Chains A and B, each alone.
Chain A
Amino acid sequence: MIRHLIKLIWNKKKAHSLLIVEIWASFLVLFGLCTLVVYNVRNYAEPLGFSYENVWAINLSNNQDTVNVAEKTQQILQRIKAYQEVESASLLSSELYPFSNSNNGFSTTYKNRTIGVNYLATDENFAKTMSINLVAGQWYNRADGGGKYTPVVINLKAQEALFENENPVGKVLTDYEKKARWIITGVVDTYKDKGEFMQNKPTLFEMTDPKNGWNKTLVMKVQPGTDAVFEASMLKDITTIVKDWNVQIVYLDAARQSKINQTLVPTIIFLIICGFLLINVALGLFGVLNVSIAKRRGEIGLRRALGATESSISWQFIGEMWVLATFALILGLVLAGQFPLLNVFDLDAGTYLVAMLISVIVIYLLVTLCALFPSRQAATVQPAVALHEE
């Protein structure tokens, strides 16, 4: 029977070409949508790696004041740590607080493997302030400094890319100028500082030099319920220490929300538009099938006369749609298959494959849904009536 249907479709391929093109185009749209959704869902599934609740970031900029910048920053940090409301505070690279819009990256090498890493300089209290768990070794502390190499912590992603099976703790990495520069003291699981929808990327944390005046962003974990009154008085204290500096306070949960929206809003708009497009296509297919069944009443009657049951007529029309969809999907998959093969947009091949699978299933469901009602209609055609109409 399937061969019979394939022959029927194949011999009518000219008349069906537009339908095939339509299903093919719908598949591509779905594939695009599914790729986006699968990519985001897969990223979302990986843990953030830190806690943002009750964490604030403070961005300092020294403006025209160039005297003792590092010392003043340390003084501010000590003042903040002294508050009762503050559980822990840490200094890091300017503007590179979690969920910020800035990032910094360069390449690092171990033996002959070179990878690009996201880079962040922090002091020894960063892991504690952000509740980051270590999976190997420990977070660097002041005692690790002063040696030949600067202590660093990497994440698992970087470990996988650089070390495979070796234990990375204690190993030395070279920097982008091919100079041996960093010694690894620990490994963290993930650190997706651009939010849940960010792809898990190799990351490297380097211990800050307290005498360096460049790192002027702070993160601080406050006690639950700490409010704007404390914030205002803290700001007053800071501006007494540094009168002409700019001080900007960011709540990480608010920053996280805006990061999430940056991904969610376009995805949802895309989803709505695609949803309407697919409804449109479904209605169109439904209409075309209805018309074509009206046109083929003679054929249906004949088949009934030759011994086709009601259900075999229903199945014939659903089967025809499946065959058509299969033709279209083969063409679509050939095109979609180029994405993982040519590594377009730098996405994981698994993302594309899952997206293809989902799109194929949805297309089959869609055509089945469209064929269901018209095929029922077809089955009710009385053989005698149909033959008389010709």
Chain B
Amino acid sequence: MIHLKNIEKVYRTSTIETLALTNINLHIGAGEFISIMGPSGCGKSTLLNLMGLLDAPSAGQVDIGGQAVTQYRDKDLAQLRNQKIGFIFQSFHLINDLSVLDNVEIPLLYRKGDATGATRRQMAQEALEKVGLSNRMKHFPGQLSGGQKQRVAIARAIVGKPSIILADEPTGNLDSAMGNEIMNILQTLNTEGSTIIMVTHDETMAKQTHRLVRLFDGSMVGDSLL
């Protein structure tokens, strides 16, 4: 599903060069549920950004579904993100001025092809049902708890039926009860066929996944099946 070959990522400013990732080789198959762990600043988020096509590597190659994507133009990358990848962030990143339903609909707005307003609405409602929030569709993010916000974010990630879900510390801002709730949803999605890659700090969360990749100072230091 995702294949990273000899990835290197360097951040340059006028004075300093920071090596964020070096010599990363990682193959992720369809239907896997992987967690990535490591201390702050080890390059976890950078790795996730590369897999999510939010950022380009300084060297190396990213394959998604067997296609090399490093050469793609912005337009194609955007479409690829839209169709194949769903994002979940630690701080949710909901748009406060839009209702829950409107937030969930956003990925469909950027999708090529002409889904009608009614279809989009239908799909967003289904996604919200899946995360158990169909009774909060008209609410605004400000009126929701942290766990509910993250469930909205998950609904947004799955509304376009992507094959890959990238989660950047999805439980990081939540207490353990809410965190477990989110993990249950992710597990359900995984059993339904989604490939899930999750960055986390939390060992107990990581243990609930099938494979654990450890990073330290920009290098992979461990890769084990659980």
Contacts and interface: CB of A to CB of B under 8 A. Distances in A.
Instruction: Say if A and B assemble together.
Output: yes
Interface of A: 1, 3-4, 7-8, 11-12, 298-299, 301-312, 382-384, 387-388, 390
A307 B107 contact: yes
Interface of B: 45, 49, 52, 54-55, 74-75, 78-79, 81-83, 87, 89, 91, 93, 95, 97-99, 102, 105-107, 109-111, 117, 140, 156, 160
A339 B98 CA distance: 38
B98 A8 contact: yes
Given A303-B106, A382-B55, A390-B93, A309 B98 contact: no
Contacts of A1: 109
A6 to B, nearest CB: 11
A4 B55 contact: no
A255 B49 CA distance: 77
B83 A304 contact: no
A388 B82 contact: no
Contacts of B89: 302, 387
Nearest to A303: B106
A152 B54 CA distance: 85
Contacts of B91: 390
A299 B106 CA distance: 11
23 contacts: A4-B102, A4-B105, A4-B106, A8-B97, A8-B98, A11-B140, A12-B97, A298-B93, A299-B93, A302-B93, A302-B95, A305-B52, A306-B82, A306-B106, A306-B156, A307-B78, A308-B78, A309-B110, A310-B78, A312-B78, A383-B55, A387-B54, A388-B45
A306 B97 contact: no
A312 B110 contact: yes
Contacts of A383: 54-55
Contacts, number: 74
B41 to A, nearest CB: 12
B111 A307 contact: yes
Contacts of B102: 4, 7
Nearest 3 Cβ contacts at the A-B interface: A307-B82, A384-B54, A384-B55
Given A304-B54, A388-B45, A310 B74 contact: yes
Contacts of A303: 106, 110
A382 B156 CA distance: 21
A382 B74 CA distance: 11
A305 B110 contact: no
Contacts of B55: 382-384
Given A11-B140, A302-B89, A307-B79, 15 more contacts: A7-B99, A11-B99, A12-B97, A298-B93, A299-B93, A303-B110, A306-B81, A306-B87, A306-B107, A309-B78, A310-B75, A382-B54, A382-B55, A388-B45, A390-B91
Given A388-B45, A390-B93, A304 B78 contact: yes
Interface core residue of B91, B93, B99, B117 (most chain A CB under 10 Å): B93
Contacts of B82: 306-307
B93 A387 contact: yes
Nearest to B50: A384
A298 B160 CA distance: 21
A11 B103 CA distance: 13
A305 B156 CA distance: 12
Contacts of A384: 49, 54-55
Nearest to B166: A305
Contacts of B105: 4
A8 B103 CA distance: 10
Given A11-B98, A307-B79, A4 B74 contact: no
Contacts of B52: 305
A380 B167 CA distance: 24
B68 to A, nearest CB: 20
A4 B45 contact: no
Nearest to A386: B54
Contact of A307 (B49, B110, B117): B110
Contact of B95 (A299, A305, A312, A387): A299
Nearest to B112: A307
A303 B105 CA distance: 11
Contact of B110 (A12, A298, A306): A306
A299 B92 CA distance: 11
Nearest to A7: B102
A4 B105 CA distance: 9
Contacts of B110: 303, 306-309, 312
A390 B49 CA distance: 15
Nearest to B46: A384
A115 to B, nearest CB: 57
A7 B160 CA distance: 21
A309 B107 CA distance: 12
A74 B97 CA distance: 85
Contacts of B78: 304, 307-310, 312
A307 B49 CA distance: 14
